Structure 1
Amino acid sequence: MQILKFKRWAAICLFLSGLAHAGELRVFVKDQHAKPVGDAVLLLTPVDPSKMPRLKPKDEVVDQIDKEFMPYVKPVVAGSKIFFPNKDNVRHHVYSFSPTKSFEIQLYSGKSAAPVVLDKPGIVVLGCNIHDWMLGYIYVADTPYFAKSKADGTALIEGLPEGDYQIRIWHPGMGMIAGETGKQVSINDESTGQLNWQINVKPVTRISRKNSSQGPGY
């Protein structure tokens, strides 16, 4: 019994120690007009490749609600399975012709169709063959350290081991390039770093949404 208690105590201490030795980076993103930028993806990559942990793919979800992709921008780690549940009362036909991942999910409604595995880093643009205005983006990351900025322009990347990192940023208004690379940042254990980043973003061209005059089921 004493041995079991000791092992349990040791496991708890190890877990808490792992939490205590993790830093974080808070980034404020603004555009060329000094306005906050939401939906920007921030990524940190260890400068020392040997410190890159093994990626842990997850099951992720991009909803279809009110004939829109939710969320508009979704960062995921490479290898993740993406489910596309349809919560509308009409059918959708999801597709992507992106070099990162080309796929097509035929007309369906209700629960999600079979998931799509995104095993290659890059940008995936989503569309719907039925509703032309529907547009969404998935950023497939090659690092586990990433976050997306909120509407107020803030993003928090947590759980960062001590060390030096290369930081990147991407936003739909930057086009289909992999993103802009910034300066290296150093992370110390149990600390929160602060970074302001101004980017140039262009308006994203979107097809105007059609109204209900198209008839029921559209």
Structure 2
Amino acid sequence: MAYTLFYFPGNANLAPHIALEEIGTPYELALLDRGNAEHKSAPYLARNPTGRIPTLLAQQPDGNEETVFETAAILLHLADRHPESKLAPAPGAAGRGRFLTWLFHLTNTIQPEYRVFYYPEQHVTDPVHVADAKATAERRLCEMFALVDRELATRPCIAADHLTVADFLLLMLVRWGRNFTHPPRDLPHLGRLCAELLARPSVQRAFGQEGLGAPFI
């Protein structure tokens, strides 16, 4: 099975990129020129009408390509398409509900809050409130990561007792908070998991291919 992942270094493609490396399946990277808004161009919008990054092209057995966008959808698609990787409990298996719960919590609750943090001007009508919106988003994100840290006190990984694609998504989200006043990497259980993930060859390869340097998280 062959894939093409449209990406920009450090964007929401990082988690699917790690998953592809972990699975070990053939894939290609297609760099998008964000400086020239290539992700808003007609050819890209024809594949992903949201104009966001990433997008995955997945070759089907019949030779056709299937397009998948939204980071969590790509992660779930890859995990289910490669069950031998054991990166998600199989549909109907014990633990599938917990896995889906945390995968969707990360993508539906934590990830959207980052849009307020990084683009606060898009969430206020009066520019005078931009700084407050950004600060409030950082506070809320810190509260969310504290909850995740408490969960990790009871299990080695966030969504199961073993590594899943949800952990790659969590690592990406922790990275995005590396410049917080109180970065999530400093939380004890979350920091432990992130250190373990950063030691994995698949994670190191993905970071290297995207040209991401220290601080990694």
What is the TM-score normalised by the length of structure 2? Answer: 0.26
Specify which structure has the higher proportion of strand: 1
Specify which structure has the higher proportion of helix: 2
Structure with max Cα Rg: 1
